[in-house]
Copies of this chain bind each other. A is one copy, B any other.
Amino acid sequence: MRLAFSVRTTDGATSARTGTLITPHGVVDTPAFMAVGTYGAVKGIGAQDLEAIGAQIILANAYHLAERPGAERIRDLGGLHRFMGWHGPILTDSGGYQVMSLAERRRIDDDGVSFHSPLDGQVRRLTPESVIDVQAALGVDIAMVLDECVAEPAERDTVSAALERSQLWAERCRPLAERLSGGLFGIVQGGVFPDLRAAHAERLVALQFDGYAIGGLSVGESKEQTWSALKAATLGLPTDRPRYVMGMGTPDDLIEAVSYGVDLFDCVLPTRHARNGVAFTSRGRITIRHRKYADDARPLDDACCCPTCRRYSRAYLRHLKLRREMLAGVLMTLHNLWYYLDTMRAIRQAIASGTFAGLRAETASSGS
Contacts and interface: CB of A to CB of B under 8 A. Distances in A.
B327 A326 contact: no
A78 interface: yes
A326 B47 contact: no
A315 B43 CA distance: 18
Contacts of A326: 43-44, 326, 329-330
Nearest to A87: B311
A360 interface: no
A305 interface: no
Interface string A78-117: 1000111100000000000000000000000000000000
A73 B330 contact: no
A155 to B, nearest CB: 37
A76 B39 contact: no
Nearest to A308: B46
A46 B319 contact: no
A236 to B, nearest CB: 39
Contacts of A69: 294, 315, 318-319, 322
Interface residues of A, number: 40
A297 B327 contact: no
Nearest to A307: B48
Nearest to A318: B69
Contact of A83 (B45, B68, B85, B313): B313
A198 B295 CA distance: 46
A329 to B, nearest CB: 6
A77 B311 CA distance: 13
B316 A46 contact: no
Nearest to A64: B323
Contact of A327 (B41, B325, B331): B41
B312 A68 contact: no
Nearest to A52: B48
A322 B65 CA distance: 12
Contacts of A73: 294-295, 315
A41 B328 CA distance: 9
B68 A319 contact: yes
A268 interface: no
A45 B326 CA distance: 8
B330 A84 contact: no
B311 A85 contact: yes
Contacts of A311: 46-48, 85
17 contacts: A39-B319, A40-B316, A41-B325, A44-B326, A46-B307, A48-B307, A68-B319, A69-B315, A69-B319, A77-B295, A77-B315, A83-B313, A84-B316, A85-B311, A85-B316, A326-B326, A326-B329
Given A46-B311, A69-B294, A85-B312, 14 more contacts: A39-B319, A41-B325, A45-B327, A46-B307, A46-B330, A46-B331, A47-B311, A48-B311, A68-B322, A77-B316, A83-B315, A84-B316, A326-B326, A326-B329
Interface of A: 39-48, 68-69, 73, 76-78, 82-85, 294-295, 297, 307, 311-313, 315-316, 318-320, 322-323, 325-327, 329-331
